[in-house]
Amino acid sequence: MAARWSSENVVVEFRDSQATAMSVDCLGQHAVLSGRRFLYLVNLDVPTEGHRKISRQSKWDIGAVQWNPHDSYAHYFAASSNQRVDLYKWKDGNGEVGTSLQGHTRVISDLDWAVFEPDLLVTSSVDTYIYVWDIKDTRKPTVSLSAVAGASQVKWNKKNASCLATSHDGDVRIWDKRKPSTAVEYLAAHLSKIHGLDWHPDNEYILATSSQDNSVRFWDYRQPRKYLNILPCQVPVWKARYTPFSNGLVTVMVPQLRRENSLLLWNTFDLNTPVHTFVGHDDVVLEFQWRKQKEGSKDYQLVTWSRDQTLRMWRVDSQLQRLCANDILEGVDELIDGIALLPEPDKTLHTQDSEPQQSSGHADEEALKEDFQNDLLVGRKSDLVGRKSDQLGLPQTLQQEFSLINVQIRNVNVEMDAVNRSCTVSVHCGNQRVKMRVMFPVQYPNNAAPSFQFAPTTTISSTMKAKLLKILNDTSLQKVKRNQSCLEPCLRQLVSYLESVVNQDDSTSSNPYALTNTVTPPLPTFARVSNAYGSYQDSNIPFPRTSGARFCGAGYLVYFTRPMTMHRAVSPTEPTPRSLSALSAYHSGLITPMKIRTETPGNLRLYSGSPTRSEKEQVSISSFYYKERCFHAQMSLRSARRRWSIQAINDFPKSRRWKSKREGTDANNRPIKAAGKVIIQDISCLLPVHKSLGEQYILNVSNIQETCQKNASSALAVGRRDLVQVWSLATVATDLCLGPKSDPDLETPWAQHPFGRQLLESLLLDPANTQQFDDFKKCYGEILYRWGLREKRAEVLKFVSCPPDPHKGIEFGVYCTHCRSEVRGTQCAICKGFTFQCAICHVAVRGSSNFCLTCGHGGHTSHMMEWFRTQEVCPTGCGCHCLLESTF
């Protein structure tokens, strides 16, 4: 139960301010309260001794206000009002509007100053755009990010200068301002609107979201499918932000009764109950921020602004800060030692007396320990070690990894030094000796791989050293890319490689005439890192499509699907992975089928440390799917065993039981195709244009009525009755008997008749729409070209009113060989000579031609080819070896 007491020491009322937003500067000296008519500047050192005002002329309330977080720009703050952001400058007790940022077309929902660059400001709006502004050049945003839905929150990452997050209803998008075309990651965070968004102050991958669905969720955006932890509440959560000290979190609720306490302080490692409740406000808290810690003081101050128009400052002393501290590290050794006290069946699987089974049992014990650590990391409750494991974000230190290393690996001796973040590995295998020093960077294992260095006592050759270093680097990179420890996998790879080399040497010495096998299989339990599909290098390669469709301009629909026998191994509601590297995660058990995910936590432990498939099976595209027929075959086999029918098992078709995925057969022993079909469908019946009409239509300008009649007959032949009606009306409207009379008094001109000009205008034949008609003709000409009707296309394009656009691109110019002037045509307009004369027939060249770039001679292509079949010198007798000097 939280302590129901208050630690406020300052309360200031601003009854007439009507402020909707508040912000505290980075120096902790001033707070700005934003109202509709005035901006109130409060000196936090003496908040009760008056305040300054900055008047503003606007009918719009201020939606968001924030001071620049950098000391050199501490006198600047930004305030958003409707579609505009005003930059204010407060210095020496005076404030003024510096400039305005205008670019959004809808209301600005949030703004945030960059943490690392003092000149950058990001704004989000309902118009679906997120703009990054540089206050040194406010004419337009420097970066524009576009989303489908409007953004309600935007926040810069506190550890990564290029990363920012935005919230869109219940979703969160992670952006990299260097790649503004699309979001880096998507998080389906909540089912209701997100009100608050905040990055972790020490981890660039973790963020917290608060929503209308009465919860606060913690996310690692590298694992977007599952939140790390959740804080369930009884009412919607307005804000949730990390504290500048320890592992605290401050939340603002939206209570049903306004007088209920809504400002709570939590320990993120124990979300069962808040550690403190700030009691004092009579209404909902609109904004809260932390004041900079004073020099020489250990206390923090929380500044809050509420709808009750009071500004309060709360003192958070060291005792309250300790309630948010993480005391789990002190008992880590006790928790890990508690694993040894578990019953034997809970620690390992069934073991036998053979050595491989013993190592397998030990590997299961190590997997159990690793699973226990994962429970601590993600904050799940563990029934193995009690309530201490129900925590969030416990870091896995290098010392913990050293304590969990399996020291029983054969032929390996490890000397670990956690203080200097290094270890020395000695391996003895046959006549080979390897001694290596491993150095771990400070960021390890967060995407930072260790370095490996051989000691002088190593006996292997330089070639073997290079191969071994490549294996170790690949193994470590593959692990740290997922923020996993890599020391023990590297040790096993090292032993596996040396044993394979020693075995190869022994086999070669025993049989000197045997061929050398350059590819030695590694240990079956710890496969070597290969360049198969789905490795960490494929993180930027999109995941292959399993189906797709494209419309063709010629009236076809081309689409492909996966085979009928292939189905998703995961739920159809889950999206296809974004990158090809997800295959390795699926193969290693990080992404498990839905059947496994729905198992109980006790059963999940059986899968968490082992792959979902055989280690011998290489990762492939098809490993993301399974074959339904093979699945049915396995189910039939199980049912046969349940019936205790040995004969049925023996009679079961072996081809269905043992065939691989690409070589499977059905019950009739017919091969199952592993590739999907590519289908081309004729959809011309669904299109407003028809190829046969393009072939049959005529354009006779001299007799328009005959043209309309024949085109109506062509439309009737293909069953287009809608076009028959149009052409029939055009036939009647263009009859010569309807032409204007010499005496206009005899009858009303046909142009005034409803079937006259009005009809023509309804058929889009008004001369005022010439440009639109030209576009229609060009589009129809493009369709005719795709159908191969080039002559019909030329007939249509003759009626385009404006000339075609000039050619844009590379053009070949022709210059006269006599006067060197540019010539268009076959004869020079200046010297009257032939522009380009064939060196064989001495006739002016028209059409296809070839010439030498060295001597400039040439001619008709057919003549040049015939000449150079038997000759090598230029036919003009200039002595140039055209084939050697140039290319015809």
Q: Which two tokens stand for residue 759?
A: 């009809």
Strand partners, 199: 207
Q: Which two tokens stand for residue 538?
A: 């494929």
Q: Which range is least confidently modeled, 414-423, 551-560, 639-648?
A: 639-648
Of residues 497, 487, 413, the one with CA closest to residue 455: 413
**How many alpha carbons lie under 13 Å from residue 262 in its C-beta half-sphere?**
28
In this prediction, residues 407-436 reach a mean pLDDT of 82
What is the structure's pLDDT at 764?
60
Q: Which of the four pLDDT bands, split at 50, 70 and 90, describes residue 391?
A: very low
What is the structure's pLDDT at 17?
85
Q: Which residue has the tokens 């046959």?
A: 430
Residue 644, by phi and psi: left (phi above 0), alpha (psi -120 to 50) or beta?
left
What is the structure's pLDDT at 265?
93
803/754 Cα distance (integer angstroms):
34
Range among 45-59, 303-317, 666-680, 764-778 rated most confident: 303-317
pLDDT digits (tens, 9 = 90+) for 244-301: 998 999 999 887 665 566 789 999 988 988 999 888 888 889 999 999 888 888 889 9
75/68 Cα distance (integer angstroms):
7
Range among 487-501, 597-611, 664-678 rated most confident: 487-501
DSSP letter assigned to residue 443: T
What is the pairing mode between strands 556-560 and 566-568?
unpaired
pLDDT digits (tens, 9 = 90+) for 174-186: 999 999 999 999 9
Instruction: Answer yes or no: is pLDDT of 867 > 80.
Output: yes
Sign of CA dihedral 19, 23, 25, 31: positive
Of residues 877, 703, 699, the one with CA closest to residue 780: 699
How would you list the strands of the sheet with 229-232, edge to edge? Answer: 194-199, 206-211, 215-220, 229-232
DSSP string, 5-48: ---EEEEEE-TTT---EEEE-TTSSEEEEE-SSEEEEEESSSTT
User: 355-378 and 332-340 are packed helices; what angle lies between their axes, rounded to 10 degrees?
Assistant: 140
Range among 116-130, 274-288, 581-595, 817-831 rated most confident: 116-130
H or E element: which one contains 655? Answer: helix 654-658
In three-state form (DSSP H/G/I as H, E/B as E, the rest C), the secondary structure along 208-267 is EEEECCCEEEEEECCCCCCCCEEEECCCCEEEEEECCCCCEEEEEECCCCCCCCCEEEEE
For the purposes of burial, counting CB atoms within 10 Å of the CB of 211, is it exposed (0-12), middle (13-18) or buried (19 or more)?
buried
Q: Which range is least confidently modeled, 258-272, 662-676, 686-700?
A: 662-676
In this prediction, residues 755-782 reach a mean pLDDT of 76
What is the structure's pLDDT at 167?
96
Q: Which residue has the tokens 């006198």?
A: 75
What is the structure's pLDDT at 649?
34
Q: Look at residue 10 and give its three-state secondary structure.
A: strand
In this prediction, residues 432-456 reach a mean pLDDT of 86
Q: Which two tokens stand for residue 123?
A: 């704004």
601/368 Cα distance (integer angstroms):
13
Strand partners, 81: 62, 84
Instruction: Answer yes or no: is pLDDT of 25 > 80.
Output: yes
Of residues 10, 120, 132, the one with CA closest to residue 70: 120
pLDDT digits (tens, 9 = 90+) for 371-390: 444 444 443 333 333 333 33
Q: Is the peptide bond before 445 cis (omega within 30 degrees of 0)?
A: yes
102/79 Cα distance (integer angstroms):
12
Q: Indicate the residue type of 438.
A: V
In this prediction the pTM is 0.43
Mean pLDDT over the full length of the chain: 75
pLDDT digits (tens, 9 = 90+) for 533-591: 444 445 567 777 778 898 887 778 998 887 655 554 445 555 666 666 555 444 444 44
Of residues 619, 615, 618, the one with CA closest to residue 577: 619
Instruction: Answer yes or no: is pLDDT of 18 > 80.
Output: yes
